[in-house]
Chain A
């Protein structure tokens, strides 16, 4: 079975500061990795995904993530955050080549950007 751990439930940060949101996963098989963002009372928007190839993945809104297979991590980073980045961020995995199709989510990290 697969599981996802987001180590920080809340991350407060000042505007224009760098931020890293941590994600570790557990799986006995290869997985795809995702980060989604959820703004208040809205659905989830795909930020970026790792399917294969380069371990450094760039997404929308200036975010990037790095897949580290040996540490089973997929941390999300942004060098300079804006107030509008305040939202909840979810890390997710799905089984590589699996037919099940379901995403397994972490519990989320609430990013709060202060002026």
Chain B
């Protein structure tokens, strides 16, 4: 009964590099959500995906950020050309179909941009 898995747990990148964050949802869950937590802030919604489909990306920055949830494999949040302001904890959550209100969170990936 594995929960939501995220890797890596910690990621260090230099400015201008790319960051790839992975999320495997709970077994049986086909909805994935990404949230970002900046220091001293609550979590902010970024994107909501189903397999091979982006449902809502209203919280995603317009540039450098992208997300996918392929038919096979984990969901990936990709940040290109990282800047220091991207340093944050990125959390993934998953839910059952039709139960979007009840989301289960992973342990997060803490990204540090030097």
Contact = CB atoms under 8 A, between A and B. Distances in A.
Interface in B77-111: 91, 93, 95, 100-108, 110
Contacts of B59: 102
B21 to A, nearest CB: 13
B56 A44 contact: no
Interface residues of B, number: 29
Interface stretch (A11-19, A54-62, A73-81, A105-113): A105-113
Interface of B: 4, 6, 31, 33, 35, 40-45, 48, 55-56, 58-59, 91, 93, 95, 100-108, 110
Interface of A: 4, 32, 36, 41-46, 49, 51, 90, 92, 94, 98-108
Given A90-B42, A100-B100, A103-B103, 8 more contacts: A4-B42, A42-B107, A44-B91, A92-B43, A101-B103, A102-B58, A104-B45, A105-B43
